[in-house]
Structure formats: C-alpha cells, structure tokens
Homo-oligomer: A and B are copies of this chain.
C-alpha cells in the first residue's frame, strides 16, 4: 500500500497496523462487532508471511497466541466482550510469563449477551485485571480509525519493550466506522530479537529456555511478583499517554475515551462558540492511567469541575476520582444499553455545571 490516505474500517485498519508491526500470527473466533478482523486476517495475513487460524473458541485462541508469542513471533487475537471474558485465564498466565502479545477488545454492550452496539462496560476488566492475580495489561484506547491502526502498531512495540501483554480497548463504533487512514507513521518493521528467551530450535551451547508462571514456594513466587511489580511501577512512570484539547483555560475538564471522546469534541466546539471554557483530556493509555495529569488540572485554578462521560455505569470515573481526590467536584454522564452520545447529552450538563459546579444532577458519588 502506498503512503496515500486510504478509506477503511477501524477493524481493517487494526489489521493493517498489525501487519506493519510484523505480526505473523492471528488466532481468533468470530464475534460481532469485530468479525471484520477475523475476516481480513483470514484473507490477507498470508500475503505478509503470517498465519491465521479460526480457533475453536476464544479460550483456544488466547492459548494459541500464548504458544505463538512463546516462540518469539508477534501474534495477536481480538474479540468482543463475552469473548474477552473467556480469555481472562489465558491473559493472566501470559502476564505472569511476561509474554509480549496484543489483544484487541472491540467492546459491545454487556453484561451477558447484551447487544452488539458500542459500549464501555469492559474498562475495569481491561485496566484492573479481569483475570486472577495481580497483573496489568498495557491498555491503549483509540478513538479513530487512524488510531486503530496506530495503536495496534504501538501495542506490539510496547508489548515487546516491556515483555507484557498489551490490549487495544475500543468500542463498536470505532471498530465499525470507516475513515481515512494514513500509514506513514507505521513503517513496515521487523520485530525485535527475542532469541534470549524465545522457544526455538537451538544449537548445543545455549541454555534451554523455560517459560512458566508457577513458583510453588511462596518465597520464590514473591520474587517473581516483585519483579512484575517493579516493571509495572516503571511503566506507570514512563508510559502514560494522553491528549489534550483546549484544556489550558478550561473551567470544565471533560475526561473521555473512545467514541464518547469524539462526541465530547463536538460538544466542546459548540460550547466554545458560546464562549464557554471547556476542554478535553483524553487518556491514550488507560493503564497506566494519567492520574497526575488529571490531578494537576484538579489542582489548577481555572478548572472548576471535572466531568467524565462514559458509555457505562461509571468505571473510568473511579480512576478519575482517584486523581481528583475531592479537590474539585466530579461529575459523571453515563449512556446505557448501547445508546450513543449526542453532543447535546454533554452540552446541557456542562452548561449547568458552569453555572453551578456542584450541580447535583450529574455529581458523582461512589458510596
């Protein structure tokens, strides 16, 4: 493909990002709204010297990726909410074995079968560890087709850099929509050398490689834990990413990701035209989360209140609360059932908050 802009679906662009990152293995099971990934991979990964398997289930898929990554190759899987739930055990193993790999969740509306409309109900699962034990996924949250490609590409690089699984967390809207994409920021690359730990044929002389997540003696396990934790603490210091839009003078700071962050953009444009000072902080990494960045706004003079817009009952807002710590009023606007935000859903409450920063209609409470 040339470096011209191409018009693509988010789910397809994610595949192109993967190809450019040197992904050679895709293992997945169909589920709406991300079937296009399975389909595009099955059609095209061969052209890039890779392999596709439609696995018998999501459980099998994550474990196939485990095997593929263990050999040092770049591999990924993707699914949507119920399918991601089934991958939790595998992800926990992968994290403890420090295997780099990428998993994409094009979130649909749960719980249960729910429906296939866009939703953000899997934020906690992605960021706090839906599987058992203490582990974290590096989690990137694209909000455009361009970012679907870019963040999958970045996720592979981050995964290898940190030897940690990375998740691309998006919603049905971003997966299903088409927009122009420019691939010049994603040069075709060869993955880094992993011969130090990968499982592969070898010559007399190298030590054998073992990948495991079991340490029967708690003292040994504690060492493994502390190594992981140290890595996570470094990740928290070094890899936090976010973008800002008109935040410098914002009196209301909106925090949003995924498709709601796009609607927020529209809402802010409308409000700015009315002369109202509203800005957007959009986390790129939801783990590690930009706590300090948000806290700085909470500490700032110009910010009078903070508002979180999510397509769920309130998940990221807890992380925002952990940033704000009661320093400024925190508001929350939800959207349920797979319904999507309109700009009016946000402009109305923001106008109200600007009048009364403690406006009770949207004030967030935990307990």
A binding-site residues for B, Cβ under 8 Å: 59, 81-82, 84-86, 88-89, 92-97, 107, 109-117, 119, 121-122, 124-125, 128-135, 212-226, 228-229, 232, 236, 289-292, 295, 312-313, 315, 318, 321-323, 325-327, 336-340, 366-367
Output the nearest chain B residue to A325 by Cβ-Cβ distance: B326
Q: A222's contact among B59, B339, B366, by CB below 8 Å, is which?
A: B339
Contact (Cβ within 8 A) B326 A115: no
Contacts of A295 in B (CB 8 A): 367
A-B contact pairs, 18 of them (CB 8 A): A85-B130, A85-B131, A86-B88, A86-B89, A96-B112, A109-B218, A115-B221, A117-B221, A119-B133, A124-B124, A134-B312, A218-B339, A221-B338, A222-B336, A225-B313, A225-B337, A322-B367, A326-B326
Q: A213's contact among B114, B128, B134, B326, by CB below 8 Å, is which?
A: B114
Please name 17 further chain A to chain B contacts, defined as beta carbons within 8 Å, in addition to the given A84-B132, A96-B111, A121-B134, sorted by A numbering. Answer: A85-B89, A86-B88, A88-B125, A96-B114, A116-B216, A125-B130, A128-B315, A129-B130, A130-B130, A218-B340, A222-B338, A224-B337, A226-B336, A229-B313, A236-B367, A322-B367, A325-B326
Please give the distance in Å from A84's CB to the nearest CB on chain B.
6
Residue among A109, A122, A214 with the highest chain B CB neighbour number at 10 A = A109
Chain copies in the assembled complex = 2
Please give the distance in Å from A90's CB to the nearest CB on chain B.
8
Output the nearest chain B residue to A88 by Cβ-Cβ distance: B85
Please give the distance in Å from A153's CB to the nearest CB on chain B.
25
Contact (Cβ within 8 A) B115 A134: no
CA distance A216 to B117 in the complex (A): 8
CA distance A82 to B135 in the complex (A): 13
CA distance A321 to B129 in the complex (A): 18
Contact (Cβ within 8 A) A125 B121: no
Contact (Cβ within 8 A) A85 B92: yes
Please give the distance in Å from A322's CB to the nearest CB on chain B.
5
CA distance A117 to B93 in the complex (A): 17
Contact (Cβ within 8 A) B132 A110: yes
Contact (Cβ within 8 A) B130 A114: no
Contacts of A128 in B (CB 8 A): 124-125, 128, 315
CA distance A129 to B114 in the complex (A): 15
Contact (Cβ within 8 A) B85 A111: no
Please give the distance in Å from A111's CB to the nearest CB on chain B.
3
Please give the distance in Å from A149's CB to the nearest CB on chain B.
24
Contact (Cβ within 8 A) B82 A132: yes
Output the nearest chain B residue to A312 by Cβ-Cβ distance: B134
Contact (Cβ within 8 A) B115 A133: no
Residue among A93, A107, A111, A223 with the highest chain B CB neighbour number at 10 A = A111
Closest 8 pairs between A and B when the two form their complex, measured CB to CB: A110-B133, A112-B213, A222-B337, A291-B367, A111-B133, A81-B132, A96-B112, A221-B337
Would A134 and B111 be within 8 Å (CB), given that A88-B85, A219-B339, A336-B222 are in contact? yes
Would A88 and B337 be within 8 Å (CB), given that A112-B213, A225-B313 are in contact? no
